[in-house]
Amino acid sequence: MTYRALYKNVLQKNFMLGVIGLMLLFPTFFIWAGIPFFIVGRFVESIIANPTLVYFSIALSGGILFSLYFLPINLKVARGMAEVKNGSLLSSFLQLEMIWIAVVAVIWSIGMAILFNW
C-alpha cells in the first residue's frame, strides 16, 4: 500500500480531520507565518550574521509549525504504514513527519524567494 492510498483511505474515513486542519490554517495564519519571520528570524539574526542560515531557519521553523496542523492525519497514515511494513509506529511517524517538514520548508523558502525577490 502506498502513502497516497493510505492518505486517501484516512481522509475518506476521517474527512473532518482534513477540514479542521485546513480551516485552522486561516485564523492562525499569524502564528505559523508570523513566528518564523518575526520571532525566529530576529532571534537567529541576532546570533548569526549569515543571511543564508537565517533564511534556512525561517523556512525550517515555518515547515515545522505548518506541519503541526496535520499531525492527526499523519499519525493515522503512519499507523497504517507501520502495519503494512510490520515496523515501528514511532519510526514510521518520524519518517513521515520529517518528509512533511522538508517539503513544506522547501515550499516555504520558494514562497519567500518569490515574495521578497531573493
Q: Could you tell me the pTM of the whole model?
A: 0.83
Note the pLDDT of residue 39: 92
Determine the residue type at 99. Answer: I
Where along the chain do its domains lie? 3-116
Note the pLDDT of residue 118: 66
CA 14 to chain centre: 20
Could you read off the pLDDT tens digit of each residue along the chain, which spans 118 residues?
788 999 999 989 988 888 888 888 889 888 888 898 899 989 999 999 898 899 899 999 999 998 888 898 999 999 999 999 999 999 999 999 999 999 999 998 898 889 887 6
Of 102, 24, 94, 115, give the one whose Cα is nearest residue 59: 102
Of 117, 91, 88, 99, give the one whose Cα is nearest residue 4: 99
Q: How far apart are CA 74 and CA 100, in angstroms?
A: 9
Q: How far apart are CA 117 and CA 112, in angstroms?
A: 8
Residue 7's contacts (CB-CB under 8 Å, 6 or more residues apart) are 73, 77
Tally the residues of the chain.
118
Note the pLDDT of residue 32: 81
